[in-house]
Amino acid sequence: MRLRVLSAYGCRFVGQGLTGYRKFGVPTGGPFDTFSYRLAVGLVGGGSGDVAIEIAHSTLTLLAEGPGVVSLVGGGHFIEVNGVNQPPRVRVAVASGSEVRVRPGGPGCRAYLAVLGGLTAREGGVPLASEALESGHVVSFHADCRLAQTPWPVECKSIRVVGLEKPFQATVTPHLNRVGIRLKTDAFALPTEEGESRPVVAGTIQLTPGDDVIVHGPDGPTVGGYHTLGVVATADLDALAQWCAGELVSFVPVDRDEARFALTIRRSEEDQVLNWLSASLR
């Protein structure tokens, strides 16, 4: 089976990301919203490292040149099959000749499209192995399942930051992509010049000589010379992917122990959902 791209903008293939190459200046990459990616892949029976399509507040239209199964998870988008809206966070079977369209809508900014059998970028289309099912068939779950109870996207307007000296608020600007997100704030005295370049990671918050705060994304630089305010706690990194222009975001200081505890809780909640999902698809 092949999925032929009819139109696409603001979309890209993402996998688990690269590790161990930052010392060579290569960012980790991977999905901006890790859990949405993992859940999308999990809904079609995939595992860690499978390729999905990340759609950032844009439209993606595909033509199914064979039967298959797709899923869409994340914020800011809806999925249609032949013009019919499909429920969120379910597996949707697609017949050969069907048009699959992902369009902007709802809260959030980024969503992930995964397919049964995985994706492989190749000239002329995206081939995948899949089951032959009837068009429009939806494999859903019981009304009391964890997926139905999970708020989506995960709302986190208060971002925990390690190393931050004082809480502050900032407004998200239209300049937001996988490299970084710019925000406006008047909470700090502006530095007059850049400092010495230091290593930075996804979630590093820096203050520019202008009036912007920059939060680095998964494709951001590996070093930066702007004044560093702190680093977003790992438990809150996924929330950055769902920010939209005009949103007011609060940043609050936490210490390393608080950040580690928050990550432990977050990972436990994610594992419960993914383990339940894996058992349900057997």
CATH number belonging to domain 2-152: 2.60.120
Q: What is the mean pLDDT of residues 212-233?
A: 93
Read off the pTM: 0.83
Q: DSSP character for 234?
A: G
CATH number belonging to domain 158-270: 2.40.100.10
- The larger pLDDT score, comparing residue 40 to residue 20, is at 40
Q: Sign of torsion, CA 271 276 277 279?
A: positive
> DSSP letters of 1-58?
-EEEEEEESSEEEE-S---S-GGGT----S-SSHHHHHHHHHHTT--TT--EEEEESS
The domain segmentation of the chain, as residue ranges, is: 2-152, 158-270
pLDDT band, residue 101 (cuts 50/70/90): very high
What is the pLDDT, as a whole number, of residue 6?
Answer: 86
What is the pLDDT, as a whole number, of residue 66?
Answer: 85
Q: Is residue 173 pLDDT above 80, yes or no?
A: yes
Q: What is the mean pLDDT of residues 142-162?
A: 54
What is the pLDDT, as a whole number, of residue 192?
Answer: 55
Nearest Cα residue to 101 out of 57, 52, 62: 62
